[in-house]
Structure 1
Amino acid sequence: MYGILDRYVGKNIVLSVILVSVCLTLFAGLINLIDALRYIGRGDIDFGFVLIYVCYRLPIVFVQFFPVSILIGGVIGLGMMARNSEIIILQSIGLSKLNIGISCVKSLIPVIMVVIAVSEMAVPKLDKHAEDEYYRRASASTGVSVTSSGAWIKEGNMFIGICAMINRKTIAGVAKYEYEGTKLKSFSRAATGNYIDNQWVMNDVVEQVINEDGVTYNKYKTQVWPLSVNLERIEILNEISDKLSVVQLHDYINYIEQNGVDSSRYRLSFYNKLLSPIIMLVMLLLALSTIFGPLRSMNMGTRILSGIALGFGYYVLNQIVAPFSIVYGVPPILGATFATVVFLGLAIYLLKRKS
């Protein structure tokens, strides 16, 4: 139940968080617009399309920046209240640090639910529409069709399906259909493929050749496939996990696992999406620590810089630990939760510590 004080505290926090979110989104959108200008000239892509393309992607940028916005917006909102002695007044009438924190959480939970709903329902559709339109316009130069289950490439009389991209030079779950007119001539499946010396070398290939006498099976340890598609044309597979909702990502993981492909990197993204509400609450605790912890005697500018530093520190730690968890075979759930647990412990420590 929301009381008068809950609404007052919540209003300051929510307004600050939304304002910071909008500013960060617009700033990132401007950077994305400048970066997307390099696509002009690919197929039918012009400046007008680039502008629309970036606008379609603004919601996903908003969602990505929202946890940091909670941290910085919380620092600003609570900092303004502390500077005006409103925090002291609230404590003098009987509200504890816990009560103020609960008021902040209760006010932000509806906003967090809306952001998650946008992330799960609106963002994938908008992003898919933007990407579909981009690839339709750029198809003359890329020759790649991207779906939620991977990518398809047409090479002469062959169709190549790529399930996933393990790293920048390794693809997995590759299938090749070779036709003669409208008749299927052969079907090949490779466990992985490596881009070596400007050509694709496939590993553990199983080939089925269809002829009048039946089907002939051949196996190859390695086989070079004459594909003209280069790394730049399929690099979008690296970002497929960011474009899917939790449900779609779960289905995609099941799909690639059924095809014998390692799903660790996609499970990492799946767990990150599941943990996003907890991450947002941890960011709020960090913001509270700047008011009630050892930073409460510092000025507003220092607090904001501290909030930005904490947010940047979380991002860096998460970006370092996550790839290491994949490289060294650590369960993806540990890689996804490590940074969150560390900063949760830091927030609790700062809240308990006195200046």
Structure 2
Amino acid sequence: MRILRRYITKQVFFSILAVLLLVLCLDFIGQVMDQLDRLGGNYTFYEMLMYILWRLPTSVYQYMPYAVLVGCLIGLGALASSSELVIVRAAGISVARIIGIVLQPVMLFIICTISLGEFVIPYADQVADSRRALALGYTVDDQARRGVWHREGNQFFYFSVVQPDGKLFGFRRYTFSDNGKLTEASFTGSAAFNEAEGVWLEKDVAVTAFSDQGTASQEFAERRWDTELTPTLLNTVAVEPETLSMTSLHGYVQYLAGQGLYTREYELAFWQKLLQPLAIASLVLIAASFVFGPLREVSMGQRIFTGVVFGIGFRLLQSLLGPSSIVFGFSPLIAVLLPIALCAGLGVYLLRRAG
């Protein structure tokens, strides 16, 4: 039994790894083609490659569920094509036992995915975005597409560049009255957090105040900024919710709730990350059910095609339900759980029919 378990584990592990590497290579080529038209000035070919490489952990995280699905189809499909699965079943090993063996190498990829999401991606994505923003120049016309917006009370902030060490570049602040009238706008060249005093120190500040009498402008070489927005929270704001760690998402949801702001987008990202292992496990069930059921005697190409189509459908359902929960106001937890439950239910149903 140990030899059999090792054999199936090896077959599935290397199939998933091969699919993941192939998808990452295709994604790398796609990203290079997408970034070529941005080359110019300080954004050289080397900076472009560094941006793509820093974003590599995010690509691994995003494609892992589909690599597991197609990899399991290929690994188990190869065993089925050579009638090895028939021999295993004839030896008295149940389908449930085989799935348990398949889940062992999959757990390694799940642990890798969780580790990347918690410890690597939040930092790597911020480094990638800040390097590219500085290379492209944060004063260009398309800065609003690359920067970060944040709200605190009646103030709205825009950060052109937020570095992982807490340094800010191209920081704009807009203050509104209770009736929604703009009262002050300011631009800060750079800012850094003073740990000893717990405040931000802004440099090269230009302030414009608006009143019924007109406008008044002031400039400061340096100014203090008192706010609840710490470097830790700012690092959370600086990246997309999907790339944050679960601990950062939970903390930021609490911060937004304390400010009376909308939290559903970050709640959705939190549940997606927390339930990612269940999503991968449900796709393993689907792969096993296809191999033992309707795809038992088809070619490898048909299995791969089916896996890709099903993966796209699963992703599409996730993409539709997630934003729908934000728009229509139902629980993000339901939006995340429903595709997983449907996938797992279909897998169990097909396995029972095949068994």
Query: What one-letter code is carried by the residue in structure 2 that aligns with 1:102?
Result: G
2:35 matched to 1:39? no
The structure-2 alpha-carbon separation of the partners of 1:144 and 1:295, relative to structure 1 and needing over 3 Å to count, comes to closer
Paired residue total? 290
**In 2: Cα distance, 1:94 partner to 1:299 partner:** 26
TM-score, scaled to structure 2: 0.74
**In 1: Cα distance, 2:250 partner to 2:71 partner:** 32
The structure-2 alpha-carbon separation of the partners of 1:205 and 1:12, relative to structure 1 and needing over 3 Å to count, comes to farther
Query: What one-letter code is carried by the residue in structure 2 that aligns with 1:161?
Result: F
Shift of 1:36: 1.7
* Structure 2 spans left out of the alignment, 5+ residues: 160-170, 186-209, 211-236
Shift of 1:119: 2.2
Shift of 1:51: 1.6
Residue 122 of structure 1 corresponds to: 120
Residue 79 of structure 1 corresponds to: 77
Q: Secondary structure at the match of 1:140?
A: coil
1:176-231 residue CA offsets vs partner (Å, 9 max, x unmatched): 857xxxxxxxx5467xxxxxxxxxxxx7469699xxxxxxxx9xxxxxxxxxxxxx
Q: Secondary structure at the match of 2:240?
A: helix
**In 2: Cα distance, 1:58 partner to 1:161 partner:** 29
Residue 161 of structure 1 corresponds to: 157
Residue 307 of structure 2 corresponds to: 307
1:318-350 residue CA offsets vs partner (Å, 9 max, x unmatched): 111222222111111111111111111111122
Paired residues of 2:70 and 2:307 also in contact (CA < 8 A): yes
Query: What one-letter code is carried by the residue in structure 2 that aligns with 1:87?
Result: L
Shift of 1:280: 0.7
Shift of 1:82: 0.8
339-348 vs 70-79, which deviates more?
339-348
Query: What one-letter code is carried by the residue in structure 2 that aligns with 1:103?
Result: I
1:64-111 residue CA offsets vs partner (Å, 9 max, x unmatched): 100000000000000111111111111122211111000011232123
Residue 172 of structure 1 corresponds to: none
Paired residues of 1:322 and 1:335 also in contact (CA < 8 A): yes
Residue 318 of structure 1 corresponds to: 318
**In 2: Cα distance, 1:160 partner to 1:136 partner:** 22
The structure-2 alpha-carbon separation of the partners of 1:205 and 1:291, relative to structure 1 and needing over 3 Å to count, comes to same
Residue 297 of structure 1 corresponds to: 297
Query: What one-letter code is carried by the residue in structure 2 that aligns with 1:94?
Result: G
Q: Percent identity?
A: 28
Paired residues of 1:290 and 1:296 also in contact (CA < 8 A): yes
Paired residues of 1:176 and 1:188 also in contact (CA < 8 A): no
Residue 136 of structure 1 corresponds to: 134
**In 2: Cα distance, 1:343 partner to 1:27 partner:** 27
Residue 348 of structure 2 corresponds to: 348
Residue 156 of structure 1 corresponds to: none
- Give matches, 1:1-355, under 5 Å: 3-41=2-40, 44-138=42-136, 139-141=138-140, 150-151=148-149, 160-161=156-157, 187-188=175-176, 204=180, 240-354=240-354
Q: Secondary structure at the match of 2:157?
A: strand
* Structure 1 spans left out of the alignment, 5+ residues: 154-158, 164-174, 179-186, 191-202, 210-217, 219-236
The structure-2 alpha-carbon separation of the partners of 1:306 and 1:152, relative to structure 1 and needing over 3 Å to count, comes to closer
**In 2: Cα distance, 1:6 partner to 1:208 partner:** 68
**In 2: Cα distance, 1:343 partner to 1:238 partner:** 33
The structure-2 alpha-carbon separation of the partners of 1:145 and 1:67, relative to structure 1 and needing over 3 Å to count, comes to closer
**In 2: Cα distance, 1:95 partner to 1:239 partner:** 47
Paired residues of 2:125 and 2:239 also in contact (CA < 8 A): no
**In 2: Cα distance, 1:140 partner to 1:330 partner:** 39
TM-score, scaled to structure 1: 0.74
Paired residues of 2:282 and 2:343 also in contact (CA < 8 A): yes
The structure-2 alpha-carbon separation of the partners of 1:96 and 1:189, relative to structure 1 and needing over 3 Å to count, comes to farther
Q: Secondary structure at the match of 2:139?
A: helix
